[in-house]
Amino acid sequence: MGLVGGGRRNLNFEEWFKAELLPIIQTELAETSPVAMRAMQARAVQVVQAYAASLKKEDFGIAFQAVAKLLASPDVVVSLCAARCVFHLALMHIKGTEEVPQLVAVREHSVMALGNTFALANRVEGEECLRVTLECISGLVEANGIRLEPILQAIAEQLP
């Protein structure tokens, strides 16, 4: 990062994502991992969500897949941050009938994301936590639109 006129910082998000954030969100942490590492992973997911519009097309799918895997994290806080992020990523590129590469990436990883989200819904307690998981499921279903066939099995498996 270099300083530019007026003391404002110039941040290259692509470089930061690849060098710092991606390795953090791709790390599989255990319940016994230090709390600081788990907190850092949750914050990295929140940063990806906040700067998702800055993700390049080729990085979007990698980010979505990594965050969707974190829905199954043993740390519930990390999982809930991932659920919020997946919801945001799933819906941010819906623009009419246009097939953008980011939406294709969401659809490619929706079955895994849905399975992890349903598993998270079974782990959490409290109305707010359940609302976050149901919102994530809703976003994934909306992102798949009329192309629901691949994810219908994942949804049907969760019904009583």
pTM comes to 0.85
Averaged pLDDT for residues 148-160: 68
What 3 state SS string does the chain have? CEEEHHHEEECCHHHHHHHHHHHHHHCCCCCCCCHHHHHHHHHHHHHHHHCHHHCCHHHHHHHHHHHHHHCCCCCHHHHHHHHHHHHHHHHCCCCCCCCCHHHHHHHHCHHHHHHHHHHHHHHCCCHHHHHHHHHHHHHHHHHHCCCCHHHHHHHHCCCC
Quickly state the pLDDT bin for 2 (edges 50, 70, 90): very low
Q: Residues 60-112: pLDDT tens digits?
A: 999 999 999 999 999 999 999 999 999 999 999 887 667 888 988 998 998 89
